[in-house]
A = this chain, B = another copy of it.
């Protein structure tokens, strides 16, 4: 066995989604793209905003001295000072907190940010508590750095179950990771949830145990109906926010995001130096230079979320009228309906017979559900509803 055993095992574990992906390709080549309803992939399809292309164009002009030479070269591993300062200013205004450039480290997307944070904080065997349902890659991210993800049950409405989180805390607990708006549910953890969680972690802190609160917020700007993501920094000092512009600007392939460290975090200089070292030695080195410079210019810009909202509303109405039971998500571009039968893997396979591709909730620690990504054109949603109905009626 030449390659690592661990990777072979992981390949087998992650084969379910891969099989789905391959099944999608097979179905599409058999029935044609337009006859397959692929809701399995969370790849933003709304066009990046005009401001993104304008900034790109401006920076790519050879005549622009700002585009020259070492603007594409190495910069400090944390990122360009000006980019970090601009993000810090923007967060400081939004949150009313004293966030400075030094509290920001630019990362290769949220996935790069999470790996950097885990590398920085985890001693071997330490645990990260994650409320269910959760983004399944967290498992790998913790494991990469010899840590362990510990999933805990949430309430039926996907709000945090503080008692369960409390029960999961032990001598190995190093952090609690929340994802808000959540993938796969689209729900935002309420201010009340964040306050209760912060109280729990503060109690632990006062008893001598420092547990980091980490909030992964790549969907923070994809929110509807006047909702907002509560700022964890206001309630608990030992906290980090991880963000990405993948969804905010529909540039997921460009790998640009950041980690923000609460300015009141304990031993903050070591935390920041540790993050910077981790960013370097994990081989990210720095977030892509050109993207840092673009972000800095368009921090106020977000893709047209009305397009997502319209799809969400249309999809919810269609599914409900077809007989599905689901909550109305407050953000992101996912729906997480209940499966009409207990076994979600079985139901997802049943949907495939109708050329509908979705992902079983079990993979997210949310059995009895399935995840729909509505990052797809409206007409696909529209045409899929009768198929969803047929599928439900024929179960």
Q: What 6 pairs between A and B have smallest CB-CB spacing?
A: A253-B289, A111-B283, A140-B281, A115-B283, A53-B62, A56-B60
- Supposing A253-B75, A281-B137 touch, asked if A3 and B62 sit within 8 A by C-beta, the answer is no
- Supposing A53-B67, A115-B282, A144-B281 touch, asked if A253 and B7 sit within 8 A by C-beta, the answer is no
For A255, the chain B residues whose CB sits under 8 A away are 108, 255, 284-288
Q: Could you tell me if B4 and A274 are in contact, using CB atoms closer than 8 angstroms? A: yes
Q: Could you tell me if B69 and A50 are in contact, using CB atoms closer than 8 angstroms? A: no
Q: Could you tell me if A72 and B7 are in contact, using CB atoms closer than 8 angstroms? A: no
| A 350-378 contacts with B by CB, 8 A | none
Given A72-B253, A141-B281; 17 other pairs, CB 8 A cutoff: A2-B238, A2-B266, A4-B119, A4-B123, A47-B68, A52-B72, A53-B62, A56-B67, A56-B290, A57-B57, A59-B60, A109-B285, A111-B284, A112-B284, A251-B289, A255-B255, A255-B287
Provide the bound-state CA to CA distance between A332 and B226, in Å.
55
For A280, the chain B residues whose CB sits under 8 A away are 137
Q: From residue A45, how far is it (CB to closest CB) to chain B in Å? A: 6
Q: From residue A276, how far is it (CB to closest CB) to chain B in Å? A: 9
> Among A8-16, A185-193, A381-389, which stretch is in contact with chain B?
A8-16
Q: Could you tell me if A285 and B2 are in contact, using CB atoms closer than 8 angstroms? A: no
A325 interface contact, C-beta 8 A: no
Q: Which residue of B lies closest to A79 (CB)?
A: B253
Provide the bound-state CA to CA distance between A59 and B291, in Å.
14
For A68, the chain B residues whose CB sits under 8 A away are 47
Provide the bound-state CA to CA distance between A45 and B59, in Å.
19
For A108, the chain B residues whose CB sits under 8 A away are 108, 255, 283-285
Q: Which residue of B lies closest to A107 (CB)?
A: B283
- Supposing A112-B283, A114-B283, A238-B2 touch, asked if A254 and B60 sit within 8 A by C-beta, the answer is no
A252 interface contact, C-beta 8 A: yes
- Supposing A56-B60, A69-B45, A146-B146 touch, asked if A111 and B285 sit within 8 A by C-beta, the answer is yes
A307 interface contact, C-beta 8 A: no
Provide the bound-state CA to CA distance between A5 and B146, in Å.
13
Q: From residue A285, how far is it (CB to closest CB) to chain B in Å? A: 5
Q: Could you tell me if B254 and A289 are in contact, using CB atoms closer than 8 angstroms? A: yes
Q: Could you tell me if B2 and A210 are in contact, using CB atoms closer than 8 angstroms? A: yes
A43 interface contact, C-beta 8 A: yes
A133 interface contact, C-beta 8 A: no
Q: Which of B45, B71, B120, B288 contacts A70 (CB 8 A)?
A: B45
A270, A283, A284, A289 interface centre (most CB from chain B within 10 Å)? A283
Provide the bound-state CA to CA distance between A263 and B70, in Å.
36
For A71, the chain B residues whose CB sits under 8 A away are 253
Q: Could you tell me if B290 and A254 are in contact, using CB atoms closer than 8 angstroms? A: yes
Q: Which residue of B lies closest to A291 (CB)?
A: B288
A122, A141, A282 interface centre (most CB from chain B within 10 Å)? A282
Q: Could you tell me if A121 and B43 are in contact, using CB atoms closer than 8 angstroms? A: no
List 25 A-B pairs, Cβ < 8 Å.
A4-B122, A4-B274, A6-B123, A8-B270, A11-B273, A14-B277, A45-B70, A48-B69, A48-B72, A52-B72, A53-B60, A56-B290, A57-B57, A57-B61, A73-B251, A75-B253, A109-B283, A112-B285, A114-B283, A119-B144, A137-B280, A140-B281, A146-B146, A253-B290, A284-B284
Q: From residue A359, how far is it (CB to closest CB) to chain B in Å? A: 15
A248 interface contact, C-beta 8 A: no
| A 260-303 contacts with B by CB, 8 A | 266-267, 270-271, 273-274, 277-278, 280-291
